[in-house]
């Protein structure tokens, strides 16, 4: 009798963890000054990782693809702008006569790039919000009621979820 009670208690304890599983975790958005950071279980996600997670949600993927296209344009502006700024600085450090007009054009490209980065980030944020809204809500507390009762076999432990 004691053996059955102990076995039943262990089965009961181990079965409790089965009810605490989630169907999916939401992606957390941490707002930044220029770009947002996207975290899943406190780990940062890249754009490609977000794309892999959101593939099952077609509505979210529309915004992910728009964000990727805009980000590509942003990378081009930033790369060319950075090179045009860096070349005259390198020339000046090397003792040559720098062409500061190139640095000014580079600075203009970087300035133009800032709203493009913001646009890509807002599209990605919209995609993540659509994805998160489709997940089942995660609750830390489950509603249940435990009490002892009597049945035809004697004393019973009753659990209602």
- Name residue, tokens 């959101």: 54
**What pTM was estimated for this model as a whole?**
0.64
Domain spans, the chain: 26-160
Q: Which of 48-62, 108-122, 126-140 has the lowest mean pLDDT?
A: 126-140
The mean predicted confidence, pLDDT, of the chain is 82
3-12, 17-26, 110-119: range with highest mean pLDDT = 110-119
Other beta carbons less than 10 A from residue 127's beta carbon: 25
Cβ atoms of 74 and 114 within 8 Å: the answer is no
Taking the C-alpha atoms of residue 13 and residue 20, their distance in angstroms, rounded to an integer, is: 12
pLDDT tens per residue, range 29-74: 888 777 788 888 888 888 888 888 888 889 999 999 999 999 999 9
């Amino acid at each position: 009798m004691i053996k059955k009670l102990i076995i039943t208690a262990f089965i009961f304890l181990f079965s409790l963890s089965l009810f605490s599983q989630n169907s999916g975790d939401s992606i957390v958005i941490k707002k930044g000054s220029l770009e947002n950071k996207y975290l899943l279980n406190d780990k940062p996600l890249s754009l490609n990782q977000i794309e892999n997670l959101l593939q099952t949600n077609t509505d979210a993927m529309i915004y992910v693809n728009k964000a990727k296209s805009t980000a590509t344009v942003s990378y081009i502006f930033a790369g060319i702008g950075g090179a045009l700024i860096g070349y005259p600085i390198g020339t000046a450090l090397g003792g040559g006569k720098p062409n500061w007009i190139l640095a000014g054009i580079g600075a203009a490209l970087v300035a133009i790039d800032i709203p493009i980065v913001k646009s890509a980030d807002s599209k990605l944020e919209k995609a993540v919000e659509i994805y998160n809204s489709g997940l089942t809500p995660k609750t830390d507390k489950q509603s249940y009621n435990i009490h002892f009762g009597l049945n035809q076999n004697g004393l019973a432990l009753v659990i209602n979820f």
